[in-house]
Amino acid sequence: MFLLNLGYRWGSGFSLDVDGYVINPSGINKEQAARRDNLDLTDTQCLLFDPQMYLSILDGAVHSRTCENLATYPWFGVETPTFNSSEMNTRDWMSQVREQVNWHPVIPTDENNIRNVIRECVEFQKEFGATHLIVPTPLVDNDDDEFGTQLKWLNAAADLKGRFSQPMFATVAISDYLLSARDPHENPLLQTILDNISVSDFEGAYVVVLQADAPRVRITSKRIAQSLLFMSRVIQRSSKAVFINYADDLGHACIAAGATGFASGTSFKSRRLCLSDFEDRTGGSTFPRLYSHSLIGDFSMEDLGQIRDERLLRYIGSDATPIAEPLYAALKARGSAHDVPAWRPSKNNVTAANKHRVMLMAQKARELVQLDETAQLNSVLHWLQEAEAHGRLLASRFSDNPLDEDGTHVEVWGKAFQIHLDTVEPNFI
């Protein structure tokens, strides 16, 4: 199951062929989110609203734009001007919020207040139309506490569980450094988290890893990759669903490990959860890149030209979608992306590239979930091994003029998956 992260306004009748959406309040204020009628959901698509309580650690001075959005949601406990639709539109109201907001989230610590905050948050989600309710919890940022703070929230939420018919998911939001220091099966904090989640009454877990800073969009820490695979497996073994967010297409491997689904997107902010992405910056432009599931990378148009010139286009042959077909045709005819308007490498000309990325991720995830457990493991092992082998050939061919997409993560994920099979699935050959 592939879910698309949406953290910004969407147009009327917005619809994509994905299995569902995750709405993120960091990119959209409460009043905009409330107008979700624009989102055209089918009966089979699921809708999650991630409360992002874990972002209460953001710094109002450094991440002001994100904090302004978050502040509009009641569970952060920040005072904001009241929105009155008869007196103002959402834009005017948000201007007032920007002027007046003082980002100092009030995160309760006593049981009653925690319960009240959770109630308000899940009722908002229910009203929003979420098909699954995500229990907010603060970020796990300290191993001395041994998940004690988060358990207070989860225990309070468990008391409310009977009031809602939707499945409830426990948020496990954890700082990357707590996963990267040890192998997952040797990590006592992770053991405590998984022990408690797997015996809980919740229907599942919603897992995100917060990166303080990340040099690359995709996760390049072997232990973090291993940890996500391990969490997927252990939680699934306890007959619960697992959604992995912000791990980009590493989530595809997590499905084989046991995850129910994963969410990603097209921008940095929707593909990973990294503090630096929330810093206030102006400008910023993007150019189209072709997402290749086979090579596990996003290739610039220049990269594609180089790959074509080495007669290696077959490496991405299985990644064509109807949207990318014209680009493939141009490349095969020894043309270039400049010949295809939707893929022309010009600033912010990314609509086709984004749609292709989302469509391909969803399609590959659907193909994977149709396989049985062993076939899923085989499929992902094959996927990672092939991508690594092909990536190595590309690296050697282009050693003088390396591709923009360097594929560093591929080898890391391959090793992580191999270790996962050795330790968690020892009977898998």
Partner 1 sequence: MTAPFIPELDVSEIQNLLPKYKDIVAYAQGGQGTVFRGISQMGVPVAIKIYSPDQTLTRAELEVKKLQKVQSPYMVTLIESGYLTVRRKQAFYSITRFEHGKDLRRILNDHGALSESEVGILIMDICNAIDELWKAKVVHCDIKPDNVLQGADGHFLLIDLGLAKHLDARTITQYGLTMGTLGYMAPEQMVGRRNYTLRVDLFALGIVAYEALTGVHPFGNNQMLIGSRDTKIAPISSLINVDRNLERVIMRLLQWNVLMRPKSGIDVINMIRR
From the number of C-beta atoms within 10 Å of its C-beta (0-12, 13-18, 19+), residue 192 rates as middle
CB of 42 to partner 1, least distance (A): 34
How many CB atoms are closer than 10 A to CB 309?
A: 12
Q: How far apart are CA 37 and CA 379, in angstroms?
A: 38
Task: Name every residue whose Cβ is closer than 8 Å to that of residue 9 and which is 6 or more positions away in sequence.
Answer: 28, 32
Nearest-approach distance from CB 259 to partner 1, in angstroms: 16
Taking the complex as a whole, the smallest distance from the CB of residue 399 to partner 1 amounts, in Å, to: 44
Identify whether the C-beta of residue 296 lies closer than 8 Å to the C-beta of residue 380.
no
Q: Rounded to the nearest 10 degrees, how much is the dihedral formed by the CA atoms of 49, 51, 52, 58?
A: 130
Cα(225)–Cα(211) distance, integer angstroms: 13
CA 427 → CA 221, 422, 424, distances in Å? 26, 8, 9
Nearer Cβ to partner 1, position 155 or 346?
A: 155
- Residue with smaller CB distance to partner 1, 193 or 295: 193
Contact 219, 244 (CB under 8 A): no
- Choose between 173 and 362: whose C-beta lies nearer to partner 1: 173
In the complex with partner 1, which residue's Cβ is closer, 150 or 306? Answer: 150
Judged by CB, which is closer to partner 1: 26, or 187?
187
Which of 109, 98, 215 has its CA nearest to residue 152? 109
- Interacting residues with partner 1 (CB under 8 A): 111, 145-149, 151-152, 155, 185, 188, 191-192, 194-196, 198-199, 234, 237-239
CA dist 391 → 181, 304, 305, 377, 386 (Å): 28, 13, 16, 21, 8
CB of 115 to partner 1, least distance (A): 12
Q: C-beta of 63: minimal distance to partner 1 in Å? A: 29
**Shortest Å distance, C-beta 155 to partner 1:** 6
Distance of alpha carbon 322 from alpha carbon 201, whole angstroms: 43
Cβ 413 to partner 1, closest distance in Å?
23
Closer to partner 1 by CB, 48 or 151: give it. Answer: 151
- Tell me whether residue 239 or residue 427 sits nearer to partner 1 (CB atom): 239
Cβ–Cβ < 8 Å for 324, 288: no
Closer residue to partner 1 in complex, CB, 79/159: 159
Nearest distance, CB of residue 239 and partner 1, angstroms: 8
The CB-of-149 to partner 1 minimum distance in angstroms stands at: 8
Q: b/e for 6-37, b at 16 or more Cβ within 10 A?
A: bbbebeeeeeeebbbbbbbbbbbbbbbbeebe
Place of tokens 């929230």: 153
Q: Whose Cβ is closer to partner 1: residue 17's or residue 201's? A: 201
CA distances from 102 to 108, 235, 341 (A): 18, 39, 45
